[in-house]
Amino acid sequence: MNVFKKYILWACLGAVLYVFLSYHFVIFGKHIKPLKKSRLTLEYTFFNVYGKSNAKILSIDDLREDGIADLLMDMGVMGEKEYDRLMAKYEDDY
């Protein structure tokens, strides 16, 4: 393998790692939706919402701060009244 191919391989691996550091991949059954992270981290890179209540999901600070509540509303998992109620619970933290 020549040097150019090695550079390309390492660049591709670096790009994949950067995507994993930059996005949450939220799994809704058969659908996977990306959610931009507010900081580079590997925490909650893959997150399955199956079997979790909306309150439990929003109790995770990293996901809530990155906007998972809006994604839950877009996917029809949570209504606007529940969104307002749950977000008011965490509003005092800011």
Task: Return the exposure string of 24-38: e unless at least 16 CB atoms fall within 10 Å of the residue's CB, then b.
Answer: bebeeeeeebebebe
Q: Residue 63, Cβ neighbours under 10 Å: how many?
A: 22
Task: Identify the band that residue 91 occupies on the pLDDT scale cut at 50, 70 and 90.
Answer: confident
Q: What percent of the chain has pLDDT over 90?
A: 87
pTM: 0.83
Task: Identify the band that residue 69 occupies on the pLDDT scale cut at 50, 70 and 90.
Answer: very high
User: Once rounded to an integer, what is the mean pLDDT over residues 38-43?
Assistant: 94
